[in-house]
Homo-oligomer: A and B are copies of this chain.
Amino acid sequence: MSATRPLTEEAIVSAALAVIERDGVESLSMRALSRELAVSPMAAYYYVKSKEDLLDLVAERVLAGIAPPARPDLEWPARLRLLVDQIEAALRHHRGIGDVLLDRMHNTQRHVMRAIMELLSEAGFDDQDVVMAYALIHTYLFGRYRVTTQPPPKPSPPLGGEGPTEDEDIVARIRPLFPKLRGRDYYDFGIETLVQGLQRQLELKRP
């Protein structure tokens, strides 16, 4: 795709993102990347020292625009919501990248981590609770995208006509609803529940 030579780190990251968005993050191999760049399989290694390194750069690019909301008029729950909404939007736009970020809490872009931690700290959480609250938010935000709400391509359940059995099985009743809800619905419910839980935690500590 990129006909530009010589290679640059920027071009490599762009190509990686292009592969991820087109074929999914599981299809991004160093070899697929080299095909995208129309260079030999080892060319990118002159610029990045490993695939992990490359993924860190990709994550950096995706989260580059995240900034703490400049809305001192709002309470911390609303400000937290505005902040994580930005992250969610970035992840939603770059499908698959959330998975990359999940297990790298320590490599999270410093500005993103700082924005969330400062907000929590100002809200009144002590340092230890900031750690745990951050970890909780991190796990939810970046873990979300690994969880699939689409059922596997198994034989689809026959539409129409009452199922022959087990109308008292809650799983049979609820499971069909999974794909009916949109990613946005899951996110809204999830993050709202988290924020309310955090508010409650704070109330319990400072009565």
Contacts and interface: CB of A to CB of B under 8 A. Distances in A.
Copies per complex? Answer: 2
Nearest to A203: B196
Contact of A117 (B103, B152, B174, B195): B174
B144 A174 contact: no
A106 B132 CA distance: 29
A132 B102 contact: no
Nearest to A152: B106
A133 B177 CA distance: 12
29 contacts: A103-B146, A105-B148, A106-B175, A106-B178, A107-B152, A114-B169, A114-B171, A117-B174, A127-B174, A128-B177, A128-B181, A130-B174, A131-B174, A131-B178, A132-B186, A133-B193, A135-B186, A135-B190, A136-B186, A139-B140, A139-B143, A139-B190, A140-B143, A143-B147, A193-B200, A194-B194, A195-B197, A196-B197, A196-B201
Given A103-B148, A127-B177, 9 more contacts: A103-B146, A105-B147, A114-B171, A127-B173, A128-B177, A131-B174, A136-B140, A139-B139, A139-B140
Closest 8 CB pairs of A and B: A143-B143, A197-B197, A193-B197, A132-B189, A196-B200, A196-B197, A136-B190, A103-B146
